[in-house]
Amino acid sequence: MSETRAEIRLPSKVLRDDIAFFTSVLGMRMDMIYPADDPQVAVFSGHGLRLRLETGAREPAGTVRILTDAPDAFADGACVLHAPNGTRIEIDLLTPPLVMPDTAHSFVVRRLADQAPWVIGRAGMHYRDLIPDRLGGSIIASHIRIPDGGPVPDTVHYHTVGFQLIFCYRGWVDLVYEDQGEPFRLEAGCCVIQPPEIRHRVLFASDNIEVIEIGVPAEHITTIDHDMVLPNGPAKPDRRFQGQRFVHHKVDQAKWAPFRIAGFEARDTGISAGTNGVAGVQVARRASGPAGWSTHDSDILFTFVMEGALTLEGAGHAPVLLAPGDAFVVPPGMAVRYAEPSDDLELLEVSLPGVFATHAVAE
């Protein structure tokens, strides 16, 4: 069987100095050196990297990043070093901690009619940003579509997140998740949460599928898992991923109850319980009675208009007529009213945390 290797070439000024640095300081292994009487090339391997140092090479010295779970014990705790050949060495955490930025509260309205651009993202999917300022980096909300159905060129991967929701808005998509059994179809009106670092893969999508994806924080890392094959065995529905349980909410099993705002009812997805209160997801629709003014004390309260129409009235802001595809964020303490709701109005509401208070405000 043939063998193939790759190596990165770096310049060297004085090879013997580089040999001492890359072996003694960085703990790499020297695999090759030549010619014997006047060495000009040395090859080192270690930390998943193969380097070829060559005297007189014309490449820039570059930067080598070494990631370790014990940076204080590596290279005497140095964060940055410079090799004799000029290469910058950066030592960093192998798995950096998830940083949750403080929420920069603001009143946000994003209308589909304003024709915000769609951009092509991972696996060829089209993305539309629903919270342009991302509330200071605390959340990202994306309207995602795949115009042409069929197999999705996805790989097994996971996200380093605090919370992530996939809500199927139109069409359907076939998914498979770590420890959740065989692949299944996520239908329109249904949703799942992807607990932190659960491995998963998108398999197949209907034509013109659309989903709403919520991620906290806004910037989070997606990592490809080249080793795991899904499905990976019998389902383990009670497994916790960093304290959160996988939840698949099915619209045909939903139970409706009064919503937090008078004049509406809602189906709870069970996501607040599944995340231990990290986040909550409800679908609200028009019921009966007047829609009054109210405030809330949730840190983040995001709403997407799925069907119907309403006029969003916010204290200090001009009323805005909203239609399907529109989204808004109401900051805590701001009085709003969902005025003139149509009979077919349906809203997707996502809150962080999952449980919060709503207070009616006298007109």
148 and 228 assigned to the same domain: yes
List pLDDT tens digits, range 65-94: 999 999 999 999 999 999 999 999 999 999
44 and 61 assigned to the same domain: yes
218 and 148 assigned to the same domain: yes
354: domain range? 253-361
Joined together, the tokens standing for residue 30 give: 């020297």
Domain presence at residue 99: no
- Of 93, 116, 148, the last residue of a domain is 93
- When comparing pLDDT for 127 and 105, which is higher? 105
Give me the CATH number covering residue 69. 3.10.180.10
Torsion angle, alpha carbons of 125, 126, 131, 135, to 10: 40
d(CA 338, CA 322): 10
245 and 269 assigned to the same domain: no
Domain presence at residue 60: yes
Give me the CATH number covering residue 292. 2.60.120.10
pLDDT class of 126 with cuts at 50, 70, 90: confident
Joined together, the tokens standing for residue 356 give: 């919060």
Burial state string for 23-56 with b = 16 or more CB within 10 A and e = fewer than 16 = eeebebeeeeeeeeeeeebbbbbbeeeebbbbbe
List pLDDT tens digits, range 193-249: 999 999 999 999 999 999 999 999 999 999 999 999 999 999 999 999 999 999 999
Domain presence at residue 98: no
pLDDT class of 125 with cuts at 50, 70, 90: confident
119 and 186 assigned to the same domain: yes
- When comparing pLDDT for 197 and 120, which is higher? 197
Q: Is the pLDDT of residue 124 over 80?
A: no
pLDDT class of 123 with cuts at 50, 70, 90: low
Give pTM, 2 decimals.
Answer: 0.89
Q: Is the pLDDT of residue 61 over 90?
A: yes
Domain presence at residue 1: no
117 and 243 assigned to the same domain: yes
Domain presence at residue 58: yes
- When comparing pLDDT for 180 and 118, which is higher? 180
269 and 215 assigned to the same domain: no
Domain presence at residue 193: yes
Predicted pLDDT at 158: 96
- Of 226, 249, 272, the last residue of a domain is 249
- Of 249, 278, 306, the last residue of a domain is 249
Q: Please, what is the average pLDDT of the chain?
A: 95
Burial state string for 258-279 with b = 16 or more CB within 10 A and e = fewer than 16 = ebbbebbbbbbbbbbebbeebb
Predicted pLDDT at 148: 84
Number of domains the chain contains: 3
Predicted pLDDT at 23: 97
Q: Is the pLDDT of residue 122 over 70?
A: no
Predicted pLDDT at 149: 87
117 and 239 assigned to the same domain: yes
269 and 329 assigned to the same domain: yes
Predicted pLDDT at 114: 86
List pLDDT tens digits, range 256-314: 999 999 999 999 999 999 999 999 999 999 999 988 999 999 999 999 999 999 999 99
d(CA 109, CA 52): 54
331 and 348 assigned to the same domain: yes
φ/ψ of 252, rounded to 5, equals -75, -5
237 and 199 assigned to the same domain: yes
Quick one: what percent of the chain has pLDDT higher than 70?
Answer: 99
Predicted pLDDT at 180: 97
350 and 260 assigned to the same domain: yes
